[in-house]
Chains A and B, each alone.
Chain A
Amino acid sequence: DILMTQTPISLSVTPGQPASISCKSSQSLLHSDGKTYLDWYLQKPGQSPQLLIYEVSNRFSAVPDRFSGSGSGTDFTLKISRVEAEDVGVYYCMQSIQHTFGQGTRLEIK
């Protein structure tokens, strides 16, 4: 099984400042088709999860461009260039080969 590990578990960010979340997989998520199957989801307080980023770096429909994803193989990063109050919630990475999630990273506003 592919295990996903996120760091940090939580972070507190001042509005307008950047934020970064790391996700590491126990096996490479690069497939022979050349694609890497790593997604990012955000669960805002009291809401269902929502897709932010798919295949490492592709923003889903209507996701603001302050969100960006990068990485390769087993190491991935979600970056928020300028955190806004509406970005509060728990961020999860998920490998979409076997569909396991990281444990989540809670983002709060300072």
Chain B
Amino acid sequence: EVQLLESGGGLVQPGDSLRLSCAASGFSFGSYAMTWVRQAPGKGLEWVSGISGSGATTYYADSVKGRFSISRDNSRNTVYLQINSLRVEDTAVYYCAKADIVLMVFASFDYWGQGALVTVSS
């Protein structure tokens, strides 16, 4: 059974940094791209970042480029999202999702975690 478990969310202040983690199990982790999708309170889904199965290629939405950094550790079956210079508008539930192929391009997201809430407020 595929399982994705996010952690690292919480209440932070504007300008702070935060690292989200997503621990995966139930599939051959390095054979699939992984992605992060966020959802602001009461809003729709916004794709923010993705990483290929090997970790060699990363992708970012224009809205987060330069502040977000995605990485993965295939020995630990874990993907990370480093968020720097947090803004109030980054407040959202951040979902980790598994892609159905090794690359991000053309990937569908077939399994999702339960999400990690990040609240940015002073």
Instruction: Give me the interface of A with B, judged by CB distance under 8 Å.
Output: 1, 31, 35, 37, 39, 41, 43, 48-51, 54-55, 60, 90, 92, 94, 96-97, 99-104
Bound CA span A51–B59, Å:
21
Contact present for B113 and A104 (CB under 8 Å): no
Q: Does B115 contact A (CB under 8 A)?
A: yes
User: Which residues does chain B contribute within 8 Å of A41, judged by CB atoms?
Assistant: 45, 109
Interface residues on B, range: 20 to 34
Instruction: Give me the interface of B with A, judged by CB distance under 8 Å.
Output: 35, 37, 44-47, 50, 59, 62, 95, 97, 100, 104-115
Nearest-CB residue, chain B, relative to A101: B45
> Contacts A48-B115, A51-B108; is A103 near B44 (CB within 8 Å)?
yes
Contact present for A49 and B44 (CB under 8 Å): no
Nearest-CB residue, chain A, relative to B112: A48
Contact present for B112 and A60 (CB under 8 Å): no
The distance from the CB of B26 to the nearest CB of chain A, in whole angstroms, is 13
Which 7 interchain pairs have the tightest Cβ spacing?
Answer: A99-B47, A54-B108, A48-B112, A101-B45, A104-B44, A39-B108, A51-B110
Contact for B45 among A35, A37, A49, A51, CB less than 8 A: A49
The distance from the CB of A29 to the nearest CB of chain B, in whole angstroms, is 10
> Contacts A48-B112, A50-B112; is A97 near B106 (CB within 8 Å)?
yes
